[in-house]
Amino acid sequence: MKGSWVALGLVAVLLAGCAGSSTPVPQRQQAQVAVESPVVGPRWQLILIGTDEHWAGNEPAWFEVVPNGEALHLTGNDGCNRLNGQVSLDDGNRIRIENLASTRMACANLAEAQRVTTLLENAYRFLIDKDRLVFFGRDSRVLGGFQRTSAR
C-alpha cells in the first residue's frame, strides 16, 4: 500500500509542476465544474498525514463535500470535533477550504484533531486515483491522503 501512495505522490508532483497557472474560469462554469468534480459526493476518510504517517486517532477523521445551492459545503469530523466549511474547486484540481468551523469538544487526541483541521485549511491542489484522494499544499508537498468510503 505504501508503494502505491509513493507512486501517486510522484505522479501528483509532476502534474502539479506542469499545471502552472490556469486560464480563469467564469464563475458559472466554475460552479458546474465543482459539482461534477469527483471530490463532491463521497465520504473521504483520512488514512495518511503527509506521505507515510497513518492516522492514529481514536475516531475516524473524514469529510464530505456536498452542493448547497451554487456553493459547495464541507461537513466532516477531525477525529474529535464536527467540521463545517465552504469549498471552492476549479478545473485545475485546485481546492480551497474556507470558513472552517468546528465544535469544541475536550478530546484526548485534540492535538491530532488540530492537525486534520490544519491539513484541510492548507489544501491547495488535489489528485484522485481510483478511491484515493491526495491533498497538496501550495508548495506541492503532500499534506495527506484519504480513501473513499461508503460509511455514513
pTM of the model: 0.77
pLDDT at 129 over 80: yes
User: Under a CB-based contact definition with an 8 Å cutoff, are residues 50 and 144 in contact?
Assistant: yes
- The Cα 8–Cα 100 span in angstroms is 27
Over residues 23-48, the mean pLDDT reads 71
State pLDDT tens for residues 43-59. Answer: 999 999 999 999 988 88
Q: Label residue 42 exposed, middle or buried (CB < 10 Å: 0-12, 13-18, 19+).
A: middle
Residue 46 is predicted with a pLDDT of 97
**Mean residue pLDDT across the chain:** 82
Residue 152 is predicted with a pLDDT of 59
Residue 1 is predicted with a pLDDT of 53
Buried b (16+ CB within 10 A) or exposed e, 102-124: beeeebebeebbebbbebbebbb
Residue 94 is predicted with a pLDDT of 96
- The HSE-up count of residue 112 (CA atoms within 13 Å, CB side) is 19
State pLDDT tens for residues 70-110. Answer: 899 999 999 999 999 999 998 889 999 999 999 988 888 78
Residue 79 is predicted with a pLDDT of 93
pLDDT at 142 over 80: yes
Query: What's phi and psi for 151, nearest 5 deg?
Result: -65, 135
